[in-house]
Amino acid sequence: MGVPVLDLTRQYASIRPEVEKALKEVFETQHFILGTQGQSLEQEVARHLGAAHAVGCASGTDALLLGLRALGLRRGEGVLTTSFTFFATAGAIHNAGGRPFFADIDPATFNLDAVHVRRFLEHECVRGEGGLPVHKATGCIIRVLLPVHLYGLCADMDGLNGVAKEYGLAVLEDACQAYGSTYKGRRAGALGHLAAFSFFPTKNLGGAGDGGIMTTDDGALADRLRMLRVHGSKERYIHEEIGYNSRLDEVQAAVLRVKLPHVDGWNRQRDVVARWYRQGLAGIPQVEAPSAPEGYGHIYHQYVIRAQRRDELKGFLQERGIGSMIYYPIPLHLQTCFRFLGYREGDLPHTERAAREVLALPVFAELKEAEVAEACEGIRAFYSGPR
């Protein structure tokens, strides 16, 4: 039968009349930038996530970049984050003028580990002027802690916020994969000083192209984000600082407003899909299924297993028409473009092991139970066959 990794046409079929109506309204107004659709989306997202402010922008990558700038990151200063994430996390740090530093992950959640964050700050840094940590080897002030809610599971924000408060660090959530996920009764996007989301089409809440949004409870931060996204200008042709052209257009906002009321239901259905996988993969010792700690609401943006002989398994599934992806095969600290940071293989063992073992299986709200069963049967057949 074959099982696709993702099929967005199934989602579109369920909301097509609403989307077409919303797009027709935008084209009839001929107002495409910073209009009522974007303003309404910002209000609706802020209310949905429990944040005081939401500010739209052109992409999740830009949400990170603008967020770092708004938090006061200066050229040459450091941001402590995870190496096991999509490239944009560290790319935005570099493009904002900062220097990425990496701590290891919790092997159970794949997310930044507060224990390793504390260890980095205690062993590799000293306290500088104002109490901020200064990296001993490079002399960089560390100003921001940037946890990633990977695959739709929140990081341990109580632990990370506690360390950040002790060291005076601002906290920027990379929630690009986590729209709708929860942590101890609160939603991602309301767990740090500021958060960045992506509306890339494959996300649980995805647009019809690139798009992003930033959330915060700090009114001054929100004002600065609004200024930075429009070339550093509050008033037309008057520029207080050098900003960017990074606005969420009305077409994207209209599509997202149609999808927003559905996203919690879609996320609940993804949880059902995850339950089917847990049942189907039970008893296969070579596979470790993902799980969420008590009090965490996983939205399964990706359903990622640990698998022995991962690359062989991926090839076997491909031959059967069963899709899978590797997120991510090379950690950021070992990427060629970040060689100048001085990291070597072995520096982040949990991260490096995860990169060798993870495999993302098909997951989306419209996935059928029979398709999950087919994927699980393929995995079981691989491990029961000759070595």
Q: What is the pLDDT of residues 129-170, one digit of tens each?
A: 889 999 999 999 999 999 999 999 999 999 999 999 999 999
pLDDT in tens, 208-262: 999 999 999 999 999 999 999 999 999 999 999 999 999 999 999 999 999 999 9
pLDDT of residue 129: 82
pLDDT of residue 37: 98
Which residue(s) pair with 249 in the sheet?
Answer: 33
44: left (phi over 0), alpha (psi -120 to 50) or beta: alpha
Question: Is the distance from CB of 332 to CB of 87 less than 8 angstroms?
Answer: yes
Helical H runs in 50-184? 60-70, 88-95, 114-123, 157-167
Q: Do 262-384 and 8-261 fall under one CATH topology?
A: no
3-state secondary structure of 53: strand
pLDDT of residue 66: 98
| CA nearest to 169, candidates 130, 224, 217 | 130
Which residue(s) pair with 288 in the sheet?
Answer: 306
Quick one: fold of 8-261? Aspartate Aminotransferase; domain 2 (3.40.640)
pLDDT of residue 386: 72
Give pTM, 2 decimals: 0.97
Give the chain's residues under pLDDT 70: 387
Q: Does domain 262-384 have CATH number 3.90.1150.10?
A: yes
Question: Is the distance from CB of 174 to CB of 89 less than 8 angstroms?
Answer: yes
Give the domain ranges of the chain.
8-261, 262-384
Q: Are strands 212-216 and 194-198 parallel, antiparallel or unpaired?
A: antiparallel
Rounded to 5 degrees, what angle do the CA atoms 156, 86, 209 make? 115
329-353 in b/e form (b: 16+ CB < 10 A) is: eebbbbbeebeebebeeeebebbbe
Rounded to 5 degrees, what angle do the CA atoms 267, 302, 280 make? 85
pLDDT of residue 127: 95
pLDDT of residue 235: 92
Crossing angle between the packed helical segments 8-29 and 250-259, to the nearest 10 degrees: 130
Question: How many CA atoms does the CB half-sphere of 151 hold within 13 Å?
Answer: 30
